[in-house]
């Protein structure tokens, strides 16, 4: 931010006078939302939407005639924006002014994607209506009636971003539970009870416990405040124009109190006999579906510079290992797989997570296509803060797991770090280079 302020001249002598000129009405020759910026926003949104579940209802049939789009975020353009966006941060104090940029709504974007469908739009409830608000019963009933008359329902749930208590998510907008805000769970239960195939779309700033509704939905999509092109991206996925390729950066819990919320837990932090609570998430860190399927095979782990692999491979504590797998598209459509590499350190001087993400690669493959994906893992990527508060690399066995998510790792191997313990400084290796070779 300081660099940007320097480039804009805000730290130059006389900047106060320039601001005063602007305040007096001087024109500011700047285009705030040029086409190239919207192209980036569209790509970010499309690649970040996560398809959590799908029983085959998505993408929607092009012959669909009657669609109900209900929920508090069905027709709210600002529902796509986080609390640091200008319309949510400052614009809420000036409700008489327009947002300043074009922000499609989910309902509007679906109308554009499905021009042949009759689309009925109803909110059903507000984002955070009081659960005992009897005045909203009619809104829920009207939404349910619209869903009964539709072939498919898109149910848009989630958050209203805001600052310091003005939203359900955002800076200073904390939550005591991961239950859907307000009456949204009630609305979802009523909609799902109709039997109409329902696609749940969650647009939020945090993951919510979806176990009570997701298991009865035909499909579930998650987007974390996807921005000005978010509705277009979501509608594109629903209609099949956009290929879903996002993966969860957090776990989605099954219940509103499911803990721990991170996959980076110690062995006893997961499901075990020492607790009556099962914290296993509904959708794990790294999870995400596409329109196709992929297989993993031929894991190799070798010391960098070596041609052959022992069992397990020996790597110096200042060296690197090369981890390679073959990924194949086993479906009938092209798709993008996010290949994920996880490491583990089962015996260390301090308690370590069961596994941690070390590297990943986005790989797009045609049907039947395959690629060889190779990660170069420096020993520094196994380091941790020891008991004496130094960052260290310890010798010992390091587990290797590769797959499509932290809960789906079909390939497993290991390498052994050999040599002296090393203390690391700020120049430690932080990245894991990856190469993708189409076969």
pLDDT digits (tens, 9 = 90+) for 65-76: 999 999 999 999
pLDDT score, position 95: 85
* pLDDT value, residue 306: 67
Closest CA to 316 of 422, 179, 205: 422
291 exposed, middle or buried (CB, 10 Å; 0-12, 13-18, 19+)?
Answer: buried
pLDDT score for 361: 98
pLDDT for the residue numbered 24: 62
Q: Is 115 buried (19+), middle (13-18) or exposed (0-12) by CB count in 10 A? A: exposed
pLDDT at res. 14: 77
- Domains for the chain: give ranges and CATH numbers: 38-92+102-239 (3.40.50.1700), 294-438 (2.60.40.10)
- Look at residue 261 in the predicted model and tell me its pLDDT: 77
Q: Say what the pLDDT of residue 13 is.
A: 84
> Residue 335 has what pLDDT?
96
Segments of the chain with pLDDT less than 70? 17-30, 135, 260, 305-311
Which are the contacts of 97, defined by CB distance < 8 A and separation ≥ 6? 91
- Which helix (DSSP H) or strand (DSSP E) does residue 372 occupy? strand 370-378
């Amino acid at each position: 931010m300081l660099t940007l302020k320097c480039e804009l001249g805000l730290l130059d002598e006389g900047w106060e006078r320039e601001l005063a000129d602007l305040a007096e009405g001087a024109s500011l020759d700047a285009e705030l939302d040029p086409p190239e910026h919207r192209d980036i926003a569209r790509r970010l949104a499309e690649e970040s939407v996560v398809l959590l579940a799908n029983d085959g209802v998505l993408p929607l049939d092009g012959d669909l005639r009657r669609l109900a789009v209900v929920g508090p975020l069905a027709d709210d353009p600002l529902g796509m924006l986080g609390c640091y966006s200008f319309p949510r941060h400052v614009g809420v104090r000036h409700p008489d002014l327009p947002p300043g940029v074009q922000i499609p709504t989910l309902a509007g974007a679906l109308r554009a994607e499905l021009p042949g469908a009759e689309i009925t739009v109803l909110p059903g409830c507000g984002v955070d209506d009081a659960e005992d608000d009897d005045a909203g019963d009619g809104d829920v009933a009207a939404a349910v009636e619209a869903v009964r008359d539709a072939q498919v329902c898109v149910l848009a749930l989630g958050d209203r971003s805001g600052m310091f208590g003005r939203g359900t998510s955002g800076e200073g907008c904390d939550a005591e539970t991961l239950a859907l805000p307000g009456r949204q769970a009630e609305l979802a239960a009523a909609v799902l009870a109709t039997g109409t195939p329902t696609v749940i779309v969650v647009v939020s700033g945090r993951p919510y416990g979806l176990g009570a509704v997701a298991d009865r939905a035909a499909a579930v999509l998650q987007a974390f405040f996807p921005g000005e092109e978010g509705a277009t991206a979501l509608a594109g996925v629903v209609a099949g124009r956009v290929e879903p390729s996002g993966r969860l950066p957090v776990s989605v819990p099954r219940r509103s109190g499911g803990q721990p919320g991170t996959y980076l837990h110690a062995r006893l932090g997961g499901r075990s006999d020492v607790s009556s609570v099962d914290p296993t998430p509904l959708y794990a860190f790294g999870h995400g579906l596409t329109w196709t399927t992929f297989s993993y095979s031929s894991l190799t782990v070798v010391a960098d510079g070596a041609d052959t692999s022992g069992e397990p491979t020996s790597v110096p504590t200042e060296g690197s290992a090369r981890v390679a797998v073959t990924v194949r598209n086993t479906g009938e459509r092209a798709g993008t797989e996010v290949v994920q590499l996880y490491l583990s350190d089962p015996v260390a001087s301090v308690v370590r997570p069961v596994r941690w993400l070390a590297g990943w690669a986005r790989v797009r493959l045609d049907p039947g296509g395959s690629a060889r994906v190779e990660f170069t893992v420096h020993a520094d990527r196994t380091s941790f803060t020891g008991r004496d508060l130094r960052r260290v690399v310890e010798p010992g066995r390091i587990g290797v797991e590769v797959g499509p998510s932290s809960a789906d790792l079909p390939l497993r191997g290991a390498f052994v770090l050999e040599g002296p313990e090393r203390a690391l400084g700020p120049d430690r290796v932080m990245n894991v280079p990856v190469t993708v070779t189409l076969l």
